[in-house]
Structure 1
């Protein structure tokens, strides 16, 4: 796998090929460290896209870089890199002991931002739910925030997830 090859991947088939190459080596962590944080957003995007094809078990190898992934999601200016990074974070284990309040604040901010893409909004909502589930007072804050949304401004995916969370149907 080379940066140049990743820079040229623009299709679902290309992402599947990247995943198959990573799977053949079995080095999900090494691949992520080498390419997922590349300063060229096209390389990072393609690497992350390929990683999203992995099973949850395969992605568990990335648990040790969860904080670096969180930092990337919060700092990148590229919405594709942000969405794909959030997708991976959402599939990793999250513990009460390592809850990052800066990331929780980020998720709250981006899940309600009407300027944000719906994919990012819903991932942030899911992640906020997971983090808040450790603390009843935070869950109450999440529910108040979701109830206060002017829901007409949001896309169907956001409306549906909001409804599922508020009705207790989301787990």
Structure 2
């Protein structure tokens, strides 16, 4: 069965996302698929496309590096939390270089990792991405640690507490 917007609009299961991934893998066109569907204005289509892409191995997703900035823009601009989380998940899997640092994205990650209103999955992804961006500059790492120290940790879910602790203990890389 061919991948179409209509099909992506109707896929709501883990098995369906795995099928989408297997079909993308068979065609070997992760970039073309992402460009065609991951930025769709229909959030259900974009969500399912991104969900299928999250099943890919890091090396398979590496071809998405050319749309790295578009993925960041989508993560920062979408109002759909599922699309945001899945997009951040893909960004987190991509190799990040010092030249890739975008201060607007770093600010976004700082804001969303401490926001109590944000979903824990988005908070943890933002914390991981902020950490990765800050590793390029010691002064940014100091700012990250100060921000983490200032968190009123009792208000956060266990996943946030655990990741925060791992960063402080040097066990997160």
TM bucket, shorter chain: over 0.9
- Residue of structure 2 in register with 1:37 after alignment: 39
Segments of 5+ residues of structure 1 without an aligned counterpart are none
What is the rounded CA distance, in whole Å, between the counterparts of 2:99 and 2:61 in structure 1?
20
Segments of 5+ residues of structure 2 without an aligned counterpart are none
Partner of residue 99 from structure 2, selected from 97, 100, 109: 97
What is the rounded CA distance, in whole Å, between the counterparts of 1:54 and 1:164 in structure 2?
26
Give the C-alpha shift of residue 100 in structure 1.
0.3
What is the rounded CA distance, in whole Å, between the counterparts of 1:30 and 1:7 in structure 2?
18
Give the C-alpha shift of residue 98 in structure 1.
2.3
Post-superposition, which runs of at least 4 consecutive aligned residues in structure 1 deviate over 2 A?
none
- Residue of structure 2 in register with 1:68 after alignment: 70
**How big is the alpha-carbon RMSD for the aligned residues of Structure 1 and Structure 2?**
0.4
Residues paired across the two proteins, number: 171
**Counterparts of 1:1-171 in structure 2 under 5 Å?**
1-171=3-173
Deviations 1:126-148 (A, max 9, x none): 00000000000000000000011
What is the rounded CA distance, in whole Å, between the counterparts of 1:8 and 1:162 in structure 2?
37
Report the secondary structure of 1:10's partner residue.
coil
What is the rounded CA distance, in whole Å, between the counterparts of 2:99 and 2:128 in structure 1?
19
What is the rounded CA distance, in whole Å, between the counterparts of 2:44 and 2:23 in structure 1?
18
Taking structure 1 as the reference length, the TM-score comes to 0.99
What is the rounded CA distance, in whole Å, between the counterparts of 2:99 and 2:4 in structure 1?
37
Taking structure 2 as the reference length, the TM-score comes to 0.98
What is the rounded CA distance, in whole Å, between the counterparts of 2:26 and 2:113 in structure 1?
36
